Amino acid sequence: MRSNDGSDLYDGLKAFKDDRKRPGLRPIEFPKEILVALERRLADFLGDETHAFMIFVGVRRWLDQYSGVIARHDVTLLERRDMLEILWPTMFAAGANFFLSYLQEALPLADPDALLQDKAPFGRYLRLLCVRGAADFSQICEFRAEKAGIDPENCRDTLGTWLKGEATPNLDRCQEVLCALKLADEVPVKIWLLVARMLAKTPAKYRAAISARKDPESSSLSPEEDFFWRKRTLAWELGKRLNIGPDRPYGALRDALYAPSVPRDPASVQDMLERLEKTWEPIAGQTYHIIEWFRGRFLVLCGRPEEAMEHYLAAYNLGAGRDPDIYQNVLDEALALAGRLGKKRLVDRFDGLLGLYWTTEWDRDPSTLGEHFERKFPQSLFFHGM
């Protein structure tokens, strides 16, 4: 990105990146303020708001599709590093190919295959722009040296690292290159320069995955189907190596919290919660959202809704993008609970999240929130006398 201009974008991106590096798989959505700031930054670089808007329409649609796929799949046993190795040959590669194919058709300026296969994609594109070869390289160095007041020899060394793929310039340096070549007003040239720069910062094995996905004979499966089977195979291999103890009261615990035919015994539920937490201790990071969810539901059924809400929020934060139950059950229950507590902002938040990835029986009429609570937490399930 460009040198920090004093905006909050750099800090927001860093915080988002740090969150993504944690073992969990959340968050699966880019914060809206980051997307808006990036679109504004792109428009500034391109000098064209329309092109920036159209690019981000595609980006947002792909992000929605990606988030929807992640929300529908159970990846409880996987860590982020595992997910990257599954997503790159499938969802990420398919998305990259979609954008590259569109650009090649709309703005036929560069060959995406050549950029993907070159060890220095940015360097290859830069050579494409420098139609006079060494004369244009010299012009770039002279322009940068004069503009920054630095030694031309240093500029030549820096240019060499770009051409060889040893380094990638930030957007300020890219703008200087375009100015030197008198291409600063050519929007298609700028767009492909950004593509080449992004590919240069993409590891070679992931660029190879993008190339492989472009060949229809490489896989007869859709990207989502391919993702599912790769994920399932890896989860099975990981599961066979796990030793999480013999006492797994998950099924009995879920029945005790959802089935009215099970006798109402809060002490038994509390015991099962403690046993499940201890049993899953070796994989706590992957499964603790389930403990939080069940604790939250148990507290609601014990008549302690305020305490329960904290557990539902924790369950969402820990399990979003890891377990489809977060969207099928947890969010809808949290919505009903927020309505019972009169927390309108939380109702709106949970309803918005459900609208993205799942459906709810609530009709969005505030007057029916009580009915929705009764639907999610029937009186027959309450532990009376608690």
Instruction: Tell me what the mean pLDDT of segment 170-197 comes to.
Output: 95
Whole-angstrom CA distances from 332 to 144, 203, 289, 315, 338 are 57, 40, 15, 12, 10
Which residue has better confidence, 11 or 280? 280
CA angle 5/6/8 to nearest 5° reads: 110
Q: What per-residue confidence (pLDDT) applies to 258?
A: 97
| pLDDT tens, position by position, 168-179 | 999 999 999 999
**Residues whose CB falls within 8 Å of the CB of residue 339, separated by 6 or more in sequence, listed in order:** 347, 362, 366, 369, 370, 372, 373
Q: What per-residue confidence (pLDDT) applies to 186?
A: 95
Task: Give yes or no for residue 235 having a pLDDT over 60.
Answer: yes
User: Which of 92-106, 325-339, 356-370 has the weakest average pLDDT?
Assistant: 356-370
Which residue has better confidence, 89 or 32? 89
Task: Give yes or no for residue 19 having a pLDDT over 50.
Answer: yes
Instruction: Tell me what the mean pLDDT of segment 363-376 comes to.
Output: 94
Q: What per-residue confidence (pLDDT) applies to 367?
A: 94
Q: DSSP secondary-structure letter at 224?
A: H
The tally of CA atoms less than 13 A away on the side-chain side of residue 241 is 7
Q: Are 334 and 313 in contact (CB under 8 A)?
A: yes
Confidence of residue 3 (pLDDT cuts 50, 70, 90): very low
Q: Are 31 and 16 in contact (CB under 8 A)?
A: yes
* Residue that has been written with the tokens 């500029």 in this structure: 155
Query: Exposed (0-12), middle (13-18) or buried (19+): which is 322, by Cβ within 10 Å?
Result: buried
Q: Are 272 and 252 in contact (CB under 8 A)?
A: yes
Q: What per-residue confidence (pLDDT) applies to 215?
A: 73
Q: What per-residue confidence (pLDDT) applies to 24?
A: 53
Q: What per-residue confidence (pLDDT) applies to 285?
A: 81
Task: Give yes or no for residue 145 having a pLDDT over 70.
Answer: yes
Q: Are 127 and 121 in contact (CB under 8 A)?
A: no
Q: What per-residue confidence (pLDDT) applies to 11?
A: 72
Confidence of residue 6 (pLDDT cuts 50, 70, 90): low
User: Across all residues in the chain, what is the average pLDDT?
Assistant: 88
Lookup: tokens for 62: 């792909």
Q: What per-residue confidence (pLDDT) applies to 216?
A: 64
The span from the CA of 96 to the CA of 110, in Å, is 15
Closest C-alpha to 290, from 263, 307, 272: 272
The span from the CA of 366 to the CA of 363, in Å, is 9
**Residues whose CB falls within 8 Å of the CB of residue 41, separated by 6 or more in sequence, listed in order:** 1, 2, 9
The span from the CA of 38 to the CA of 44, in Å, is 10
How remote is the C-alpha of 179 from its chain's centroid?
Answer: 35
| pLDDT tens, position by position, 64-105 | 888 888 888 888 888 878 888 999 999 999 999 989 999 999
Whole-angstrom CA distances from 148 to 5, 14, 176, 185 are 18, 28, 10, 21
Q: DSSP secondary-structure letter at 24?
A: S
The span from the CA of 130 to the CA of 345, in Å, is 55
Instruction: Tell me what the mean pLDDT of segment 282-294 comes to.
Output: 89
Instruction: Tell me what the mean pLDDT of segment 349-363 comes to.
Output: 84
- Percent of the chain with pLDDT strictly greater than 90: 64
Q: What per-residue confidence (pLDDT) applies to 354?
A: 85
Lookup: tokens for 101: 């194919």
